[in-house]
Amino acid sequence: MPAPDLALVSLGTTPGLRRADAAFAEMAREAGADCELVPVRIGRGAVLRRHPALTDLVESLYARRSARGGARATVYSTVTAALLQPERPGRVAVRFDSAASLNRPGIAGAWQRRVERRVLARADLLLPWSDAARLASPGGAPSVVLPVPVEEIGGGEERDVDGLAYCGYPEKRGLDILCAAWGDSGGRLVIGGIDAERGREWLARRGVAEPPGTEWLGALPRAQWLDWVTRARVFINASRREDHGLAQLEALAAGCALVTVPSPGPYAALALARELNSILVAADVSAGALGGSIRSGLALGRAELAAYRERALGLIAPHRPDAVRATMRDEVLPRLLG
């Protein structure tokens, strides 16, 4: 069997990463390249992922074990997937939503940041998801910003969900901040990514009350989740850190107003949210600040929401599939395969 043009080593540890990797492979194939998606299979070592330094070590080792040589170019789907890879024939690219220099601060990220500088410097091409990720990366290699494509997501005028949020990782996603901020705002709050039992237990440990009438969706297939997104008036982000914000971009594409805290990190949707309506962006990452923005979002009338949605669709144009496909075809593949 002939070697492929591209081998994409896919760590795929979150739904967002899996979505991004599948989209990359599809776009490369549409542009005429033979792209093999190589999943990283993490076996028994998964039980060791209890601390950032050890988690990254385990995932890097399994990524090294999963990767195969022979392709004309190898693309690592995250910085972690690239950290412990040997030098391989052919060109090498590293794709990432956030560099370790941003999302691995302190002692827990010391070895990752050190190795990252060497890995990114020797790559032939860097493929950050956003310009913010590009600016924060320490590598000196050439780079092309290649967003994850955000498809057109239909949404009607009648929406029966007042507030929707994703809290699959409750600490990172700020489930306690979200619930304390919502309080007794009224309306219908729906939370995805975590089921009721786990969500309530986590809130109880934090001493935060569950807002009255909260609905818990648990983990859903992508199509079902997007159906809920199209039914929401307001999408709420309370993340303590945001590496990109694909869910927020998809919410804007579905016609939701984005109410958000200013999550640190290369948060691509934050600048868009400020441009669309700065009142809906909290002053800081706190329940008090977010609560005021939630109330402002819930107070938006139908005409205001319609105008917001129309402007949002214009602002996310660089993330649309046609724009990203053009970047893949005209800038990425010529550099990797030319």
Cα–Cα distance for residue pair 81/11, rounded to 1 Å: 6
Q: Under a CB-based contact definition with an 8 Å cutoff, are residues 168 and 198 in contact?
A: no
Residues 179 and 309 in one domain: yes
Spatial CA neighbour of 249 closest among 332, 323, 180: 323
Task: Please report whether residue 217 resides in a domain.
Answer: yes
Residues 96 and 223 in one domain: no
Please report how many Cα atoms fall inside a 13 Å half-sphere around the Cα of residue 149, on the Cβ side. Answer: 20
For 156-177, what is each residue's pLDDT tens digit? 677 999 999 999 999 999 999 9
Whether 51 has a pLDDT exceeding 80, the answer reads no
Task: Please report whether residue 24 resides in a domain.
Answer: yes
Residues 329 and 227 in one domain: no
Angle between helices 246-253 and 15-30 (to 10 degrees): 70
Please report how many Cα atoms fall inside a 13 Å half-sphere around the Cα of residue 49, on the Cβ side. Answer: 14
Task: Please report whether residue 212 resides in a domain.
Answer: yes
- Per-residue pLDDT at 11: 92
Phi, psi of 71 (to 5 degrees): -70, 155
Domain range enclosing 230 = 161-318
Total domains in the chain come to: 2
Those residues with Cβ within 8 angstroms of residue 208's Cβ, 6 or more apart along the chain or in another chain = 176, 179, 180
Cα–Cα distance for residue pair 263/248, rounded to 1 Å: 12
Phi, psi of 101 (to 5 degrees): -60, -20
Residues 227 and 324 in one domain: no
Share of the chain above pLDDT 90, in %: 78
Task: Please report whether residue 155 resides in a domain.
Answer: no
DSSP 139: -
Q: Of 2-11, 51-60, 90-99, 185-194, which range is least confident?
A: 51-60
- Per-residue pLDDT at 186: 83
Task: Please report whether residue 38 resides in a domain.
Answer: yes
For 179-221, what is each residue's pLDDT tens digit? 999 998 888 999 999 999 999 999 999 999 999 999 999 999 9
Mean pLDDT, to the nearest integer, of 211-234? 95
Q: Coil, strand or helix: which one is 243? A: coil
- Per-residue pLDDT at 174: 97
Task: Please report whether residue 282 resides in a domain.
Answer: yes
Residues 304 and 174 in one domain: yes
How many residues can be counted in the chain? 338
Residue 11 CA, distance from chain mean position: 14
Residue 16 pLDDT grade (very low, low, confident, very high; cuts 50, 70, 90): confident
Cα–Cα distance for residue pair 52/111, rounded to 1 Å: 11
Residues 211 and 325 in one domain: no
For 282-334, what is each residue's pLDDT tens digit? 999 999 999 999 999 999 999 999 999 999 999 999 999 999 999 999 999 99
- CATH number of residue 95's parent domain: 3.40.50.2000
Q: Under a CB-based contact definition with an 8 Å cutoff, are residues 141 and 93 in contact?
A: no
pTM of the shown model: 0.91
- Per-residue pLDDT at 48: 62
Residues 313 and 324 in one domain: no
Residues 268 and 257 in one domain: yes
Those residues with Cβ within 8 angstroms of residue 260's Cβ, 6 or more apart along the chain or in another chain = 236, 237, 238, 248, 269, 270, 273, 280, 281, 282, 293
Residues 208 and 327 in one domain: no
Residues 185 and 57 in one domain: no
Task: Please report whether residue 156 resides in a domain.
Answer: no
Residues 99 and 214 in one domain: no
Task: Please report whether residue 1 resides in a domain.
Answer: no
Residues 191 and 75 in one domain: no
Strand order of the sheet with strand 232-237?
215-218, 189-192, 161-166, 232-237, 257-260
Q: Of 66-70, 186-190, 238-242, which range is least confident?
A: 66-70
